[in-house]
Amino acid sequence: MGVVYRAFDPLLERVVAIKTIKFDASLSEKESFERRFFREAKSVARLSHPAIVTLYDAGKAEDVAYMAMEFLEGRELRRFISEAGPLPYTRIADMMAAVADGLDYAHRQGVVHRDIKPANLMVLADGAVKITDFGIAQLQTGSKTMTGHMLGTPKYMAPEQIMGHPVDGRADIFSLGVVLYQWLTGVAPFDGETVTTIMYRVINEGPVLPTRLMPELPPGFEAILAKALAKSPEERYQTAGELAADLRRYAELGSPGPVLGLAAQAQPQPRIPPSPSEDPTMLLAHPFTDTNPLSLSPAPQEAPASPPARRGKALWLGIAAVAIAGGAFALLPTERSAGNGATPAPAASTAAPEPQPAARVDLAIAPWGEVVVDGEPKGISPPLESIELLPGHHEVEIRNGQSEPHRLTLELGAGDTYKIKHKFK
pLDDT above 90 (res 46): no
Higher pLDDT, 11 or 22: 11
Task: Pick the range with the lowest mean pLDDT from 7-21, 90-104, 354-368.
Answer: 354-368
- Averaged pLDDT, 33-39: 76
Share of the chain above pLDDT 70, in %: 70
How many CB atoms sit inside 10 A of residue 130's CB?
Answer: 21
Higher pLDDT, 85 or 1: 85
Residue 280 lies in a domain: no
The residue among 185, 220, 252 that closes a domain is: 252
Task: Pick the range with the lowest mean pLDDT from 26-35, 251-260, 341-350.
Answer: 341-350
Q: Please identify every residue annotated as catalytic.
A: 115
b/e burial code for range 196-215 (CB count within 10 A of at least 16 → b) = bbbbbbbbbbbbbbbbbbee
Which pLDDT tens digit goes with each residue over 66-87? 889 899 999 999 999 988 888 9
Is residue 93 located within the same domain as residue 229?
yes
Model confidence at 257, in pLDDT bands (50, 70, 90)? low
Is residue 156 located within the same domain as residue 132?
yes
Is residue 98 located within the same domain as residue 40?
no
Is residue 81 located within the same domain as residue 32?
no
The pLDDT assigned to 320 comes to 32
Higher pLDDT, 219 or 297: 219
For residue 11, what is the domain's CATH number?
3.30.200.20
Is residue 151 located within the same domain as residue 46?
no
Is residue 118 located within the same domain as residue 8?
no
The pLDDT assigned to 24 comes to 64
What whole-number distance in Å separates Cα of residue 298 and Cα of residue 209? 20
Residue 326 lies in a domain: no
- Averaged pLDDT, 9-34: 78
The pLDDT assigned to 147 comes to 36
The pLDDT assigned to 138 comes to 56
CA–CA–CA angle 255, 257, 260 (5° rounding): 105
Is residue 107 located within the same domain as residue 230?
yes
What whole-number distance in Å separates Cα of residue 127 and Cα of residue 96? 12
Higher pLDDT, 130 or 281: 130
Is residue 65 located within the same domain as residue 213?
no
CA-to-CA dists, residue 408 to 164, 412, 413, 425, angstroms = 21, 12, 16, 18
Is residue 114 located within the same domain as residue 21?
no
Is residue 193 located within the same domain as residue 246?
yes
The pLDDT assigned to 135 comes to 63
Higher pLDDT, 175 or 369: 175
The residue among 252, 278, 310 that closes a domain is: 252
Is residue 245 located within the same domain as residue 381?
no
Question: Do the Cβ atoms of 401 and 343 come closer than 8 Å?
Answer: no
DSSP string, 107-163: HHTT---S--SGGGEEEETTS-EEE--TTHHHHHHTTS--HHHHTSSGGGS-HHHHT
The pLDDT assigned to 240 comes to 96
- Mean pLDDT, all residues of the chain: 74
The pLDDT assigned to 2 comes to 72
The residue among 43, 70, 97 that closes a domain is: 70
What whole-number distance in Å separates Cα of residue 328 and Cα of residue 235? 13
The pLDDT assigned to 137 comes to 53
Question: Do the Cβ atoms of 140 and 1 come closer than 8 Å?
Answer: yes
Which pLDDT tens digit goes with each residue over 344-401? 444 444 555 566 788 899 998 887 888 999 988 888 887 788 899 988 899 999 988 7
Share of the chain above pLDDT 90, in %: 32
Which pLDDT tens digit goes with each residue over 279-304? 322 222 334 443 332 222 333 333 34
Phi, psi of 364 (to 5 degrees): -135, 85
Burial class of residue 248 in the structure, from the number of CB atoms within 10 Å of its CB (0-12 exposed, 13-18 middle, 19+ buried)? middle
DSSP string, 14-61: EEEEEEEEE--S-HHHHHHHHHHHHHHHHHHHT---TTBPPEEEEEEE
Alpha-helical runs (H) found in 249-398? 307-311
Question: Do the Cβ atoms of 143 and 25 come closer than 8 Å?
Answer: no
The pLDDT assigned to 82 comes to 87
Instruction: Quote the number of domains for the chain.
Output: 3
The closest of 230, 367, 249 to 288, measured between CA atoms, is 230
Task: Pick the range with the lowest mean pLDDT from 141-155, 202-216, 269-283.
Answer: 269-283
Residue 307 lies in a domain: no
What whole-number distance in Å separates Cα of residue 46 and Cα of residue 41? 9
For residue 401, what is the domain's CATH number?
2.60.40
The pLDDT assigned to 346 comes to 45
The pLDDT assigned to 333 comes to 35
pTM score > 0.75 for this model?
A: no
On the question of a cis peptide bond just before residue 86, with omega within 30 degrees of 0, the verdict is no
Is residue 38 located within the same domain as residue 94?
no
Which pLDDT tens digit goes with each residue over 307-341? 433 333 333 333 333 233 333 323 223 333 334 44
The closest of 263, 267, 204, 265 to 235, measured between CA atoms, is 263
Residue 342 lies in a domain: no
CA atoms within 13 A on the CB side of 117: 16
What whole-number distance in Å separates Cα of residue 105 and Cα of residue 170? 13
Range(s) of the domain holding residue 248: 74-252
